[in-house]
Structure 1
């Protein structure tokens, strides 16, 4: 008989409320904080790419104000 390493996935990582930390749950819970951070990082990267492409909201606002 051939022996191979186990292919079982690790158990679900639980946090505080005993649920999967990656589950998209609605309300005030630890999962919401994780998803908030992830979406904020995506938004920051999207704005950075938008700014590098030449469409800067901050630059436009400063130009209108007179700086």
Structure 2
């Protein structure tokens, strides 16, 4: 894969994780399983922000009031 393809794949994965995180956040009565997965996605996305030097997810958390 070329560098550009890696960047695209990374961004696509991050956007997918963010969509899942937001969807899980909307569950009114989450099960323990959903809560664990939600926290896992949060941890992964925080790390992805750190690695790629963006604040995409951190900004979303701020907008959601879910810091």
> Shared topology, TM-score over 0.5?
no
- Normalised to the residue count of structure 2, the TM-score between the two structures is 0.40
Q: Which has the higher contact order (CA 8 A, sep 6+)?
A: 2
- Point out the structure with the larger helix share: 2
- Normalised to the residue count of structure 1, the TM-score between the two structures is 0.40
